[in-house]
Structure 1
Amino acid sequence: MSLPSFLRSPPFPQADARVAGPGRTALPDDALALLREARVGGAFWEPHDPWTELENEGQLTASGADERVGIAAILGLPVTVTAPGPYGQPEDDLPALRQRLLAVLASTACRDPFTGEVASFETTVELLSQWRREIAANRRIVAALGMAWWKRQEIRRFLWVPERRLQIYRNPGRAVRGAGKAGGSLAVWPSRVSPQLIDRARASGVGLVRVEDGFVRSVGLGSNLVPPCSVVVDSRGIHFDPAGPSDLEHILATTDFPPVLTARAARLRETIVRHGISKYSAAADDAALRRDTARRVVLVSAQVEDDKSVLAGGGGLTSNLELLRRVRALEPDAEIWFRPHPDVEAGHRKGAVPAGEALKYADRIVAEGGMAALLDQVDAVHVLTSLTGFEALLRGREVTCHGTPFYAGWGLTRDLGEVPDRRGRKLALDELVAGVLILYPRYLDPATGLPCPPEVLVGRMAKAQAANRLGWLAPLRRLQGRLMAFSR
């Protein structure tokens, strides 16, 4: 007899997402407890989720062929089986129904949808749980605004729900009206959030959900039109603006990080460091970046001067040259390396510092090579709000924050900027990593396009398997940047 698959996957349109098939799997002793906590099994992604409906009903009468019998047994609800099936017989009591479900699960081979290889039961349940959380959060988002054409395919995948196609608007007024008519929230790229939009949304009763690039984003720059493989979806605010709370700040301030999560974060951090992965790259060791001094080496990471994170978290400081001057005053005996921002170097953004001006305070300008290899050579990093400071923490470097980035205020950095009272909790490094890289962002597998855990994207980047689907545009974008820089 062919047994039905209790561990079904949502019907993602972009790839085969099956996580189970014919075969056998080893079940842990707490298999049913894992399913109950994750609330996966059956068509959990549907609007009328069987887990919620059964809890509301409090009992079930159904055929033993109905997988809801297994869900009700996990929930401990009274069940009446009307006809025999793989999930139960009419004479079965609750313990017997649970045993039948375990038999169904043991007769299912778990599959990794990203590789097609065998997966463990625990990994499979965790992946289904991730998909459940993301789809549930996506249901309140009914429209989007400010998503560039070259990343819309990825945005629709990040915000996917099975019964509708996400409507993406270009006009703020139409976007708010569309979201209001549909009775849900509007997802907005933060650069498109204006006071007028906030007022209009508030007046219409439309919630705003901010969507921004994640922290391990892609191989290649967004300014070169490389779509993101990671984003954050924040319903409270956005991580780079310390003026108000964000989902990330809430996670870091309130989560009780269990040992299994921090151990996972430690493994992820070690993989990122070992393979030289940073936000935009996975770089091999670069011999050109070797230090040749016994002095303390301090890296100053420049930023785009009109970037939202600089304007929101810089405490009024935006100038890369002024940041350099301040670092020299604080580190008079150090050898200071200045790293221009790649978007500025590419000619797309504001913040260029003439070499002669930079070398009044810096000993060396390091524009080439990967950030990971550069961080391996320095002792300390000074930043305004740059993600470089977080990447330096991953590698055990000292970090001084002149502004208020999301990783400041948790006891791991020297903070010169004003830190909100909402922070102040002391975190271990891998607790910070768990919040920042596992619990807060979302990821897409660049090979299948499926939502994935961070380990999948990091693994693809480490093996150079994170190709850009719009790679043909990159040379044109670089040429445009050079022309723009030349015309200034």
Structure 2
Amino acid sequence: MPRPNAPAVPHRLIAASGGFLGPSAQARRIRRILELAIAQPGLGWPSPEDAVLAWGHAPRAWRAEALARRSGAPLWRVEDAFLRSLHPARVSGEPPLGLLLDRKAMHYDPSAPSELEELLATHAFDDGALMARARVNIDRLRALHLSKYNAHDPEFPPPKAGYVLVIDQVRGDASLTHGGEAGALPEDRLFREMLLIAQEEHPNARVLIRAHPETAGGQRAGHYSTADTGGRVAFIDGPQSPYALFEGAIAVYTVSSQMGFEAILAGHRPRVFGQPFYAGWGLSADQTPSLRRRRKLTKVQLFAGAMMLYPLWYDPARDRLCALEDVIDHLEAQVQAFRQDRRGYVALGMRLWKRPALQAFFGGQKPLRFAPSVARAQGQAARDGRQLLGWASAVPKDFNSLRVEDGFLRSRGLGAELTPPLSLCIDDLGIYYDPTVESRLERLIAAPLPAGGAERARQLREHLLAQGVTKYNLPAGEAVAEQVAELRAARPEAPVILVPGQVEDDASIRLGAGEIGTNRALLQAVRAAVPKAVILYKPHPDIEAGLRLGAVPDAAELADLVLARTGAQEALALVDQVWTMTSGIGFEALLRGLPVVCFGAPFYAGWGLTQDRGWVPERRRAVYPRPDLDRLVHAALIAYPRYYDPVSGALCPVEVAVERLASGGMPRRPLRLRVLAKAQGALASHAWLWRR
């Protein structure tokens, strides 16, 4: 992703430090980003056409500096980008999601202009599309509480509003030793002066010190200690996010912390005692103003330059350089799971074959523990401070903890055939298929869309339709298009209606189907309502495989055509309408713009997007303004489920899962599951054995 006016690409990148060439996940990621952007770093004596790499102003950067001087090759400096990972690298060893590669100077070193400074000083920032994207990305970072490191809890209570926020930094950080202020005052004195000035300028306010994450974790020392507190000065204790702290602050003081930049994004004008990259553009109160930086920028222009044009962003699922939006999508998936999972779970109602997949989805922070009963699970959870997590259809009705169920873009293959899922939904209120109680999905549908949500939902829907992705993504079945065409020709005025069959003992039927609760009754009701219609009946694939209940022996008499072993994508392409009890195919029909008639109360009914012939919860009818299709899609496919990428082995955004489902390029089911699936097919009439 070349920057405007970027220098010519060198022949080679020469690493003077072993840190670039080591075996760690961080080193491998750094090499891969550089390889995608320019070239794979390596050893050697550089020529003037090569470039020598230094990691910022790290202690061993002198080796690269000396090598560049002696060889005449240019020196390029590299640092982590401004959105890095969940935890600090020293804590977790997590690799970065992007790099800052500067061919002139480091962004935190004001002794010479960096590429970032020149970009901010000269770029026109008159591209309307770029500015619109920047505004949305700022809003997303704030709403998601995303920062450089993200092991915080947005729900942790912030301090009572009205305080002054003073930001500490780690001792000896390069942004301090090369930040333009060290020559004027020693570090300790500078931070002490900042704290005193904060108290003098706000004599009646509490002054709260925010420690750096690495200081709070004990990895490195900061500049403040308990000796600096007392009276109205105190440390902030707790995992609050920077954006939560900015909401209650009346002023923000920093030397050169990235939190000063984030304070600008949150609407503050921070008091800055160093010369970080964000100072000098009219957005901060600078103790030591820069003599070079004369231009006035808006925060949107500053953000566009620093976060969208300057960094090299990396998508770990797709193994490619990417835009900032892709990194935000990736981090959203990671941090939301961390915030839900950090206490760990005791799980119950989980079938044996599902447990490895559940560990991948929910055991990232602490491995899941499985319990055989509610009582045992409650005891373990109480002892260990964990949460309860139950498979929704296997826990009692009065279970008042988290429920989990398959998502709406599940897999390439049936769950009944033991195909592991790519998506699961976790619900702290109810579960999406039970309309008798409010679910978390309902609240998401009823809520306004987040920043960028409508556009993301539209793009996702377009991608789903273009790729033909559905819930199970089964192989194409029988060719029936010609038969349907003949039926249309014989009755040109009649609507062609798809009636999807369902598993009749499924929880969505038991809880949400209403008066019509069997496939046969559904076919009869559709024929009675639209006698002249061309009715196509699509049996549920689990029933066709002989694995679940719900066969209709006389379906060929009740419908004009039975779509045997036909995928949802193919079936929906043949019809004008869908009539259903609670089938997920009704949701897929809405995605394709088809009218949907519901006899039950599936999650997508009752919002004004379907014709409802049965009972639906009044709470859905009362939502105003009425949700549109974008809100439904965003809630059901983006906000509610979580997705697991079997290729990268990590949680991922929905867009990655769609690409995996569309391409089919996923690992095969484990051998034990393939063998078990064959065995269960032979024992279909004894399902109670293999569905344990």
Q: Secondary structure at the match of 2:168?
A: strand
Q: How far is 1:374 from its partner?
A: 0.9
Letter paired with 1:337: L
2:327 aligned residue:
124
Question: Which consecutive residues of structure 1, in runs of 5 or more, have no partner in the other structure?
Answer: 199-206
Letter paired with 1:233: I
2:381 aligned residue:
179
From the superposition, tell whether residues 471 and 310 of structure 1 become closer, same or farther in structure 2 (CA, over 3 Å): farther
Q: 1:74 aligns with which of 262, 275, 283?
A: 262
Say yes or no: does 1:147 pair with 2:314: no
Say yes or no: does 1:279 pair with 2:467: no
Aligned pairs for 1:135-214 (under 5 A) are: 135-139=338-342, 142-162=345-365, 164-195=366-397, 198=399, 207-214=400-407
User: Contact conserved, 2:680 with 2:687, CA < 8 A, in 1?
Assistant: no
User: Contact conserved, 2:79 with 2:101, CA < 8 A, in 1?
Assistant: no
Q: How far is 1:242 from its partner?
A: 0.6
Cα offsets for 1:87-137 (capped at 9, x unmatched): 999x96599899899769976411011122111123313432332223212
User: Contact conserved, 2:85 with 2:97, CA < 8 A, in 1?
Assistant: yes
Q: How far is 1:81 from its partner?
A: 6.4
Say yes or no: does 1:435 pair with 2:513: no
Q: How far is 1:359 from its partner?
A: 2.6
1:216 aligned residue:
409
Q: How far is 1:59 from its partner?
A: 1.7
Which deviates the most, 102-111 or 303-312? 102-111
1:329 aligned residue:
528
Say yes or no: does 1:8 pair with 2:84: yes
CA distance in 1, matches of 2:97, 2:322: 8
Letter paired with 2:396: S
Cα offsets for 1:139-163 (capped at 9, x unmatched): 355322122233323322322453x
Letter paired with 1:62: Q
User: Contact conserved, 2:333 with 2:642, CA < 8 A, in 1?
Assistant: no
Say yes or no: does 1:458 pair with 2:536: no
1:202 aligned residue:
none
Q: How far is 1:17 from its partner?
A: 6.2
TM-score by length of structure 1 reads 0.84
Cα offsets for 1:13-54 (capped at 9, x unmatched): xx9864113537999664766544432233312579999799
Say yes or no: does 1:306 pair with 2:505: yes
User: Contact conserved, 2:381 with 2:387, CA < 8 A, in 1?
Assistant: yes
Which deviates the most, 473-482 or 140-149? 473-482
The alignment-based identity, stated in percent, is 35
Q: Secondary structure at the match of 1:423?
A: helix
CA distance in 1, matches of 2:345, 2:164: 28
Q: Secondary structure at the match of 1:255?
A: coil
From the superposition, tell whether residues 389 and 88 of structure 1 become closer, same or farther in structure 2 (CA, over 3 Å): same
2:559 aligned residue:
362
User: Contact conserved, 2:167 with 2:259, CA < 8 A, in 1?
Assistant: no
User: Contact conserved, 1:86 with 1:104, CA < 8 A, in 2?
Assistant: no
Which deviates the most, 28-37 or 399-408? 28-37
Q: How far is 1:414 from its partner?
A: 1.1
CA distance in 2, matches of 1:434, 1:190: 22
User: Contact conserved, 1:240 with 1:406, CA < 8 A, in 2?
Assistant: yes
Say yes or no: does 1:288 pair with 2:487: no
Q: 1:40 aligns with which of 139, 146, 155?
A: 146
CA distance in 2, matches of 1:47, 1:421: 34
From the superposition, tell whether residues 395 and 47 of structure 1 become closer, same or farther in structure 2 (CA, over 3 Å): closer
Larger relative contact order (Cα-Cα within 8 Å, sequence gap ≥ 6)? 1
From the superposition, tell whether residues 108 and 264 of structure 1 become closer, same or farther in structure 2 (CA, over 3 Å): closer
Q: Secondary structure at the match of 1:382?
A: strand
From the superposition, tell whether residues 174 and 95 of structure 1 become closer, same or farther in structure 2 (CA, over 3 Å): farther
CA distance in 2, matches of 1:340, 1:486: 21
CA distance in 2, matches of 1:50, 1:416: 44
Cα offsets for 1:450-474 (capped at 9, x unmatched): 2111111111221222344336633
Q: How far is 1:175 from its partner?
A: 0.8
TM-score by length of structure 2 reads 0.61
CA distance in 1, matches of 2:531, 2:304: 68
From the superposition, tell whether residues 263 and 280 of structure 1 become closer, same or farther in structure 2 (CA, over 3 Å): same
From the superposition, tell whether residues 215 and 106 of structure 1 become closer, same or farther in structure 2 (CA, over 3 Å): same
User: Contact conserved, 1:231 with 1:443, CA < 8 A, in 2?
Assistant: yes
Letter paired with 1:303: Q
User: Contact conserved, 1:226 with 1:471, CA < 8 A, in 2?
Assistant: no
Say yes or no: does 1:376 pair with 2:573: yes
Q: Secondary structure at the match of 1:385?
A: coil
Which deviates the most, 408-417 or 47-56? 47-56
Q: How far is 1:219 from its partner?
A: 0.3
Q: How far is 1:479 from its partner?
A: 4.8
Q: Secondary structure at the match of 1:58?
A: strand
User: Contact conserved, 2:434 with 2:508, CA < 8 A, in 1?
Assistant: yes
CA distance in 2, matches of 1:411, 1:439: 20
Cα offsets for 1:66-89 (capped at 9, x unmatched): 87721244234967869x999999
From the superposition, tell whether residues 486 and 170 of structure 1 become closer, same or farther in structure 2 (CA, over 3 Å): closer
1:346 aligned residue:
545
Q: 2:97 aligns with which of 19, 30, 41?
A: 19
From the superposition, tell whether residues 53 and 123 of structure 1 become closer, same or farther in structure 2 (CA, over 3 Å): farther
Cα offsets for 1:149-181 (capped at 9, x unmatched): 33323322322453x222222332211111122
User: Contact conserved, 1:234 with 1:246, CA < 8 A, in 2?
Assistant: yes
Which deviates the most, 59-68 or 110-119? 59-68
User: Contact conserved, 2:608 with 2:627, CA < 8 A, in 1?
Assistant: yes
Which deviates the most, 402-411 or 59-68? 59-68
RMSD after superposition? 3.8
Q: Secondary structure at the match of 1:175?
A: helix
Which deviates the most, 454-463 or 274-283? 274-283
State the number of aligned residues. Answer: 471
Cα offsets for 1:405-436 (capped at 9, x unmatched): 01001111110111111112433222221221
Say yes or no: does 1:267 pair with 2:459: yes
Say yes or no: does 1:404 pair with 2:563: no
